[in-house]
Amino acid sequence: MDGNGRWAKQRGLPRTEGHKAGVEVFERICEYAAGLGIPALTFYAFSAENWVRPQEEVAAIMNLFRRQLEAAERRKAENEEKRWRIRYIGDLEDGGPVPADILRLLRDMEHQASDKEKTIVNIAVNYGGRQEILHAAQRLARLAQAHALEPEDFTEQDVDDGLYTAGQPALDLVIRPSGELRLSNFLLWQSAYAEFWFSDILWPDFTEAHLDAALAAYAARNRRFGDVE
Ligand code: FPP
């Protein structure tokens, strides 16, 4: 969801207003993508490296997570269902940098998230692709230490099973708005054979039509997975 800061600056607003506008777009795109039947989406909301931003901006983004989690709780209590269910992914261990009340809220929500038919919406928070792969490697090392699995028997599936996205559909398409042409530590393992769609559009200006354009570009690609033709 890149470009929130620049979008706000263009309008003479504080950067945090860009993030607020970004959440509205996030909601709209989730609704639209769920309607299209896309089984899983992942939004890069806060990287493991984003903590170095000004404290005021970090606090404002944390408040947006709080608000999203509280709204989800309220909807659940009122039986007002959405077509998509949220999962938070990233290093969300106790004692880390993510505030404890947010961890509590998201654990409560995960207990409730059950409907397997719905589109999965991953919100990546305190997320880093390298850290995720390291986390999966540590899990395998522990299994080897316990002789539950020998290192020579490790498979790619075993690594997959230790990722935050374990059990979810394969990643087909990565969309990066705002003109940056890099992955920035996003879904490194999962994107090995993904297609990419880059655009100069700033995230708060991203619309359903942009998602349609990205999907149309994706549909026209020839995915060979190492094969010919
Ligand atoms: C990147 O744009 C955006 C972020 C680091 C924060 C995104 C987080 C949100 C929109 C809040 C998400 C909350 C929910 C509930 C989904 P940038 O700030 O790097 O923009 P710039 O490159 O123009 O400065």
Which pairs with CB-CB distance under 8 Å and at least 24 residues apart come from 57-65? 57/15, 57/16, 57/19, 60/16, 60/19, 61/16, 61/19, 62/99, 62/102, 64/19, 64/20, 64/23, 65/102, 65/123, 65/125
pTM for the model stands at 0.95
Answer whether 2 contacts ligand 1 (Cβ < 6 A).
Answer: yes
Burial 170-200 (b: 16+ CB within 10 A, else e): ebbbbbbbbeeeeeebbbebbbeebbebebe
CA of 93 to the centre of ligand 1 (A): 22
Check pocket membership of 204 for ligand 1, CB cut-off 6 A.
no
Residue to mutate, 1, 42, 87, ligand 1, most ligand atoms under 8 Å from C-beta: 1
The structural domains of the chain, ordered by start, are 4-127+174-219 (3.40.1180.10)
Q: What is the pLDDT along the chain (229 residues), one digit of tens a residue?
A: 999 999 999 999 999 999 999 999 999 999 999 999 999 999 999 999 999 999 999 999 999 999 999 998 888 888 888 889 999 999 999 999 999 999 999 998 877 666 778 999 999 999 999 999 999 999 999 999 999 999 999 999 999 999 999 999 999 999 999 999 999 999 999 999 999 999 999 999 999 999 999 999 999 998 888 898 7
Structure confidence at residue 115 (pLDDT): 72
pLDDT for the residue numbered 114: 66
What are the CA-CA distances from residue 175 to residues 42, 53, 144, 214 (Å)?
A: 10, 23, 37, 7
For residue 113, what pLDDT is reported?
Answer: 62
Which pLDDT score, from 0 to 100, does residue 24 have? 98
Q: What's the full length of the chain, in residues?
A: 229
Q: Which residues contact 110 (CB under 8 A, 6 or more apart)?
A: 87, 88
